[in-house]
Amino acid sequence: MSDTKRREELLKGLDAKFKAVDRDAEPFLEGLQHAKLLTYWDYIQTDVLLNLQTQRTVFPDELVFITYHQINELLFKLILWEIQQLAEMKELTGLVFQEKLSRASRYFDMLTTSFTIMKDGMDPKQYEQFRHTLTPASGFQSVQYRYIELASTELINLIDLRFRSTIDRNTPYEYAFEHMYWQAAGKDFKTGKKSILLKNFEDQYKNDLLDFMGAYNTKNIWTRFKSLTEEERQNKTLLDAMRHYDRTVNITWVMAHYNTAKFYIEGQGKTAEATGGSDWQKYMHPKYQKRIFFPELWTDKEIENWGVDA
């Protein structure tokens, strides 16, 4: 196609675009003449991004701590982005499903392998000091992490094991919410009293979480997987991808995180209290939580030994 022809085609395309919204293309073309040329820093918002790391202490390694958490949140965002597309897709095929799941897994793999930045990339003496300034904040309060869980599996799989038998599909979301496995980090189930860690989190996000819970009840990864054809569901590559995602999120990442917590909190040989104040050793280990997104894809033995050898 000649250059002139190509230009004509482009103008026709623009005319059609503006006509569709009852406008002329000319003012837009006029405006284009004066528009600033795009730069990398405007597009990526580099200056804004690099101004988001506000330290609360003078310790240099606090910058590592803040920045790595922010990187995590950005990757959580990308994971949710893929899951959301998978959830909304009208005509979902096994191939597209696998593609989206692999993308989400790849991001989570990145979070898992990079966790050494937390364990080996900070001076323990500095961490020991600046962590007190951060009390009672905790990664526990990452709402995107909770969204990823809710978007990945059936709600029942996120209920504290002790209460699963009291919940079915007709249970109000509010009741289910009060019995999510993570309530155990800050709730006294006998008195109903909640720690400040949990209370602050719920004040900020409870309503959003309840809405999200309702929305993903029928379009989470597992429900979408079940909507595939029998043949697609039996596809070994897809099954391996499902198991990989489950293991990465619920064992490998959890253990990288757990070992880091152990290193810093116990390693100091002092009181084993976390910034969020939970009984973290018991709370965080996968063998206690037994959080499994796709239990139907594991054998009874594998479920029994979930996280035991990790």
Q: Which of these ranges, 34-42, 67-75, 201-209, 214-222, lies near ligand HEM under the rule CB under 6 A?
A: 67-75
Question: How far apart are alpha carbons 122 and 116 in whole angstroms?
Answer: 10
Backbone φ, ψ for residue 180 (5° rounding): -60, 150
Q: Is 279 helix (H, G, I), strand (E, B) or coil?
A: coil
Nearest distance from C-beta of residue 237 to ligand HEM, angstroms: 29
Nearest distance from C-beta of residue 276 to ligand HEM, angstroms: 2
The answer to whether 98 contacts ligand HEM (rule: CB under 6 A) is: no
Question: How far apart are alpha carbons 262 and 281 in whole angstroms?
Answer: 8
User: What's the maximum distance between 2 C-alpha atoms anywhere in the chain?
Assistant: 78
Question: In the stretch 101-120, what mask flags binding to ligand HEM with x, by CB under 6 A?
Answer: -----------------x--
Question: In the stretch 33-52, what mask flags binding to ligand HEM with x, by CB under 6 A?
Answer: --------------------
Nearest to 223 by CA among 43, 83, 116, 61: 83
Backbone φ, ψ for residue 159 (5° rounding): -85, 140
- Ordered alpha helix ranges (H), the chain: 3-19, 26-34, 40-44, 46-49, 61-88, 94-113, 116-119, 124-134, 143-152, 173-178, 196-216, 221-226, 230-233, 236-247, 253-261, 280-284, 286-289, 300-304
The answer to whether 72 contacts ligand HEM (rule: CB under 6 A) is: yes
Q: Which of these ranges, 90-98, 138-146, 164-172, 219-227, lies near ligand HEM under the rule CB under 6 A?
A: 138-146
Question: How far apart are alpha carbons 180 and 163 in whole angstroms?
Answer: 9
Q: Which of 98, 112, 138, 220 binds ligand HEM (CB under 6 A)?
A: 138
Question: In the stretch 139-158, what mask flags binding to ligand HEM with x, by CB under 6 A?
Answer: xx-x--x-------------
Nearest distance from C-beta of residue 165 to ligand HEM, angstroms: 22
Q: Which of 261, 293, 294, 306 binds ligand HEM (CB under 6 A)?
A: 261
Residues that bind ligand HEM (CB under 6 A): 68-69, 72, 118, 138-140, 142, 145, 182, 185, 257, 260-261, 264-265, 274-278, 280, 284
